[in-house]
């Protein structure tokens, strides 16, 4: 079970209910499932819903909430991510960065993978572009894996550049990054890469750090726990079959780019992306792009609608938001990591540019998904 789903369940449990929770990620035989459920448990939340689990829960009259794309079983509530919306959100992220070339890398064995690709393709086509995609198949031998990596590399090299590439999950996105590295392609200037699932450790360890769509797994866990609690309190509560929207795109280095036709602006944006959080100034950018300050200011206004200093602040604020959401670092340390000499000035800048305090933003991110499930989303399952 994904760690973020467990975090969502834990958040609900800590605030609303003093539950005893057992986490079991091992495959179980039907007999083992029945034995475990017979030990006095009152309900179950599952990321791997099997007929054996459904039958056992029905036998012991335990409410079951499924969080996967298993068939809709009688007597089982289902809460899932909207995978089509995940793909569409990824496409919109790359469209917003000005790309005209789009590609998708993903598998086709699972329904969620196909749905993410379909959402991506539909959103790109609605913007009057034609995406291409690479089917990534699981390999069962070292030789097959090596051949698959070679095909991915060849495919990536042959794409028109610059290109925005979304992968069906973060693991596939890491393979795209590795193929780009082996091919000598610059990320994100030539190939911008976007994953999905926002596995924070995986994304942060990637080089460069990987942008990813957050499908709402924390919210998924929270809402599952809430619905289970409500069914335990009222066994007559209708079952539900709900899809939840993705939270948003967590932008990191692999998409920190705009598809800009001007060489000077593109070089400046790249340099700022790499050094803004080191406290770089506009004057320090100029020697690296071969431009005067007045010329750079004019070009930034023309292509980006903001100044070079505004771009520096945009990158810093993006990193601050990420650190507030994903870590418990104190504000003083966040200031050090984002190029601010004084924590107090960082707080002033953040509030001026975002309209909220850093403390309020951190609390809001921690409580995402706390809202109750919309009543109109809960429907009786026939």
**What is the pLDDT confidence band of residue 140, given thresholds at 50, 70 and 90?**
low
The predicted structure's pLDDT at residue 209? 93
**At residue 249, does pLDDT exceed 60?**
yes
Within this chain, do residues 159 and 205 fall inside the same structural domain, yes or no? yes
Select the more confidently predicted residue: 257 or 128. Answer: 128
Distance (Å, whole) CA 370 – CA 246: 14
**Number of domains making up the chain:** 3
- Residues 359 and 365: their CA atoms lie apart, in Å, by 10
Note whether 314 and 278 are same-domain residues. yes
Q: What's residue 109's pLDDT?
A: 85
Residues 208 and 88 grouped into a single domain:
yes
Q: Which residue, 255, 283, 316, sits at the end of a domain?
A: 255
Residues 201 and 115 in one domain: yes
pLDDT tens digits for range 365-378: 766 544 434 443 33
- Average pLDDT rounded to a whole number, residues 175-198: 95
Query: Pick from 232, 255, 278: which residue ends a domain?
Result: 255
pLDDT for residue 57 is more than 80: yes
Q: Is residue 55 part of a domain?
A: yes
Q: What is the mean pLDDT of residues 125-139?
A: 89
* pLDDT for position 376: 39
Q: Predicted confidence band at 17 (pLDDT cuts at 50, 70, 90)?
A: low
Q: Is residue 285 part of a domain?
A: yes
63 in a structural domain: yes
- Name the pLDDT band for 27 (thresholds 50, 70, 90): confident
Instruction: Tell me the pLDDT tens digit for each residue of 29-47.
Output: 999 999 989 888 999 999 9
Same domain, 179 and 277: no
Percent of the chain, pLDDT > 90?
Answer: 65
Same domain, 96 and 187: yes
Do 76 and 221 fall into the same domain? yes
CATH of the domain at 114: 3.40.50.2300
**pTM for the predicted model, two decimal places:** 0.75
Whether residue 262 has pLDDT greater than 80: yes
Residue 258 has pLDDT above 90, yes or no: no
| 220 in Cβ contact with 358 (< 8 Å) | no
Whether residues 77 and 223 share a domain: the answer is: yes
Q: pLDDT digits over 333-381, tens only?
A: 999 999 999 999 999 999 999 999 999 988 877 665 444 344 433 333 3
Domain that holds residue 312: 263-365
302: in domain: yes
Q: Say if residue 76 is in the same domain as residue 87.
A: no
């Amino acid at each position: 079970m994904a760690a973020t789903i467990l975090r969502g369940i834990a958040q609900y449990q800590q605030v609303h209910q003093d539950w005893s929770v057992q986490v079991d990620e091992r495959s179980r035989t039907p007999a083992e499932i029945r034995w475990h459920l017979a030990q006095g448990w009152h309900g179950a939340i599952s990321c791997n819903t099997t007929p054996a689990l459904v039958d056992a829960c029905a036998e012991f009259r335990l409410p079951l909430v499924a969080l996967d794309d298993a068939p809709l079983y009688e007597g089982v509530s289902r809460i899932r991510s909207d995978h089509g919306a995940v793909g569409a959100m990824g496409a919109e992220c790359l469209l917003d960065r000005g790309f005209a070339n789009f590609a998708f890398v993903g598998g086709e064995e699972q329904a969620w993978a196909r749905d993410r690709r379909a959402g991506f393709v539909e959103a790109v086509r609605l913007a009057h572009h034609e995406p291409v995609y690479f089917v990534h198949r699981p390999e069962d031998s070292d030789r097959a894996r090596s051949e698959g990596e070679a095909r991915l590399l060849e495919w990536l090299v042959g794409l028109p550049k610059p290109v925005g590439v979304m992968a069906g999950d973060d693991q596939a996105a890491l393979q795209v990054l590795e193929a780009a590295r082996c091919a000598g392609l610059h990320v994100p200037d030539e190939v911008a890469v976007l994953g999905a699932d926002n596995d924070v450790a995986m994304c942060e360890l990637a080089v460069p750090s990987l942008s990813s769509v957050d499908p709402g797994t924390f919210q998924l866990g929270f809402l599952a726990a809430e619905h289970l609690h409500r069914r335990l309190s009222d066994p007559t509560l209708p079952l539900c079959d709900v899809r939840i929207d993705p939270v948003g795109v967590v932008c990191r280095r692999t998409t920190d780019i705009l598809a800009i036709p001007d060489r000077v602006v593109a070089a400046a944006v790249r340099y700022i992306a790499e050094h803004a959080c080191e406290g770089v100034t506009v004057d320090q950018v100029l020697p690296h792009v071969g431009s005067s300050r007045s010329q750079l200011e004019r070009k930034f206004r023309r292509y980006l609608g903001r100044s070079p200093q505004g771009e520096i602040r945009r990158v810093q604020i993006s990193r601050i938001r990420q650190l507030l959401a994903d870590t418990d670092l104190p504000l003083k340390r966040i200031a050090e990591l984002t190029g601010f000499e004084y924590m107090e000035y960082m707080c002033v800048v953040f509030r001026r540019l975002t309209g909220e305090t850093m403390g309020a933003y951190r609390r809001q991110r921690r409580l995402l998904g706390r809202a109750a499930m919309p009543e109109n989303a809960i429907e009786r399952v026939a």
